Amino acid sequence: MSNKSEYSEGDLRKTGMALKHDREWDYELDRIIEAVEERDAEKVGLQFPEGLKRRGPSVADDLRELLPDDVTILLSGQPCYGACDLDTYLMKRTDVFVHFGHSPMKNTDKVIYVPLFSNVDVFPIMEESLEELEVGDVGLVTTAQHMNRFEEMKEWLEDRGFTVHTRKGDDRLTHEGQVLGCNYASADIDADQVLYVGGGKFHPLGLAMEHPDKNVVIGDPVNNVVTVADTDKFLKQRYGAVHRAMDAEKWGVIFCTKIGQGRWEIAQDIIDENDDAYLITMDEVTPGRLRNFNMDAFVNTGCPRITTDDGPQFHKPMLTPGEYEIAIGNEPLDSLEFDTFHGTW
């Protein structure tokens, strides 16, 4: 595991700026209009992830202009962080339902997925990432936003002498080389180094935790920075949470009701084995919603990122199912792993 955390020049993470790039997306309005005509639709539901919600009204305006007056457009106001998080209420009550910004977790006629790829140029940061890579075997992974450039990225590395290893993960992933914040199965490749091209620090951290034997190089084209994943700080935070939960008597076991975030068997196993564990069902898992439960600690069987990224904001320790097993003494401390999520629904 590498302890290096080197920041290249031009790191924009702390400047509040990001590399300027064309922010015009293709909302694939033609596809939506076609579906409305085919189904003689009266209601169209649009769901955007949090970062793109502000685009919703103008997309609705464009559709209103193009569609007959009797078609009503509904914008989902529910929080949305992934393809696992479809607004099923809106989906059931609209004739055409469009989910923007994510690739399909499960193909279904009920949802039109519009992926919205990033237009940022990934090659300057890949060039910079070469300093951290050794020519030879390398794994390549990226997020849904950059998937449209994946083949080009692969060729770019091959042109520079690399043997690029890629694979499609499990059912939860749509594309070859794609990773999610909860699934890094596409990095199970035969190479000691992996290049992750994409933004954010959490995806590559999960990747490095899942593959501690690999050197994970992060080329972030939006913040213009190359780093090598360092899991030490993350591990300290997780061990801290486990330690704080070791004396807990009453446990709240969260079962998430979002369509792609339910892990029922894991939640039920915990309840079956522990009389002091209580099943709590909810869609959004927030500190405010858990505050009034008189629990000593929580186990989250929903989105693993809530536990690991937002965990410190909760008033009581919040653990992943694997960490719970350590806290109650069923597993040794060194079995701590990143919580990953497989399959769909």
Q: Which residues bind ligand SF4 (CB under 6 A)?
A: 81-82, 84-85, 180-182, 260-261, 303, 305, 341
- Residue 3's contacts (CB-CB under 8 Å, 6 or more residues apart) are 230, 232
Measured CA distances, 263 to 7, 281, 336 (Å): 38, 11, 19
Minimum CB–partner distance for residue 229 and ligand SF4 (Å): 17
Q: Nearer Cβ to ligand SF4, position 165 or 305?
A: 305
Minimum CB–partner distance for residue 208 and ligand SF4 (Å): 16
- Residue 24's contacts (CB-CB under 8 Å, 6 or more residues apart) are 119
Helical spans, DSSP H, in 222-303: 232-245, 264-273, 287-291
Minimum CB–partner distance for residue 82 and ligand SF4 (Å): 3
Q: Nearer Cβ to ligand SF4, position 84 or 111?
A: 84
Q: Nearer Cβ to ligand SF4, position 183 or 224?
A: 183
Minimum CB–partner distance for residue 281 and ligand SF4 (Å): 16
Q: Nearer Cβ to ligand SF4, position 280 or 303?
A: 303
Q: Nearer Cβ to ligand SF4, position 162 or 338?
A: 338
Euclidean distance between CA atoms 171 and 344, whole angstroms: 7
Minimum CB–partner distance for residue 235 and ligand SF4 (Å): 19
Instruction: Count the Cβ atoms, other than its own, within 10 Å of residue 271.
Output: 14
Residue 254 token pair: 């969260």
Rg (CA), the chain: 21
Minimum CB–partner distance for residue 304 and ligand SF4 (Å): 6
Q: Nearer Cβ to ligand SF4, position 198 or 260?
A: 260
Euclidean distance between CA atoms 196 and 175, whole angstroms: 15
